[in-house]
Amino acid sequence: FGQYKRITNRWEAGVLTGKGLKWGGSLVRTEATGYGATFFINEALKIRKDSFDGKTCVVSGSGNVAIYTIEKIHQLGGKCVACSDSNGTIYHEKGLDLDLLKQLKEVERRRIEDYIKYHKDAVYKKNGNIWEIPCQVAMPSATQNEINGKDARLLVKNGCIAVGEGANMPTTPEGVKIFLDAKIAYGPGKAANAGGVATSALEMQQNAQRDSWNFEDTEVKLENIMKGIHKLCYRISDEYGAPGNYVLGANIGGFIKVADAMVAHGLV
């Protein structure tokens, strides 16, 4: 942002997002993608008369998306028992120590294997496959193509009822088909991980208003956006004869929005 100001000789805060809080940034931006994905899956569970309460969850990764997915899952009553980094996987049956995880990853920038130095009852598996760990909710939040067909089948076999993509395209096409065929609550990244860009838009809105919202108000706005995305995806999937197929709902819903705008503007 500083370089942009130097080049243009103008203060246009809304041009760039993810800024520091002292120069036009927004609260909740760091948490946004993880919180948003969790909000989306929470709505998907509600449709099925269910919730995160009491659910055993697994979240891949240990960066911003993963950490704040874990945080929101815990706040909603779930128990996250595993996370990972590029070297391996941590499994802690009684639930991950989120404060320790934040200290290790956000402050000290250490590897996830150091977690077991503080919790002897936790298990670290070098190069471990996190999707082998039984769970009811899986939240892939690390990288592209991390869940293949074999992993997807194993998750379904082990009783997984919901998958929410915090990462971009973390499930291979084969894995997606397995989830859809099993009729679990599968939230594709194109819908479920929209919280990050949504909160960037909220940052731009604050900049335009010369305003700064508190954490609680910003989080409520994010939650309402994710509820709206879920509602649109579910409504479209229902209208097209596949209720709960969020891939279909997101694809068709997104297309209709763009197509309607193009036609309204005189473009064909």
Q: For 148, phi and psi rounded to 5 degrees?
A: -100, -175
From the CB of residue 111, how many other CB atoms can be counted at a distance below 10 Å? 15
How many residues are given for the chain? 268
Q: What local confidence, expressed as pLDDT, does residue 267 receive?
A: 80
> 82 in a domain, yes or no?
yes
Q: Report the CATH number that the domain containing residue 67 is assigned in CATH.
A: 3.40.50.720
Q: Considering only CA atoms, give the Rg of the chain.
A: 19
> 98 in a domain, yes or no?
yes
The reported pTM is 0.96
Annotate 170-209 with three-state secondary structure: CECHHHHHHHHHHCCEEECHHHHCCHHHHHHHHHHHHHHH
pLDDT beneath 70: ranges in the chain: 268
Helices (H), 22-63: 32-47
Range of the domain at 126: 31-191
Contact 129, 89 (CB under 8 A): yes
Alpha-carbon gap, residue 195 to 94, rounded angstroms: 29
> 38 in a domain, yes or no?
yes
> 47 in a domain, yes or no?
yes
> 152 in a domain, yes or no?
yes
| Integer angstrom CA distances of residue 241 from 191, 236, 238, 251, 254 | 19, 9, 5, 14, 17
- Beta bridge mates, 47: none
> 227 in a domain, yes or no?
no
The domain tally of the chain equals 1
Alpha-carbon gap, residue 226 to 166, rounded angstroms: 13
> 144 in a domain, yes or no?
yes
> 248 in a domain, yes or no?
no
Q: What local confidence, expressed as pLDDT, does residue 268 receive?
A: 67
Q: What local confidence, expressed as pLDDT, does residue 50 receive?
A: 98
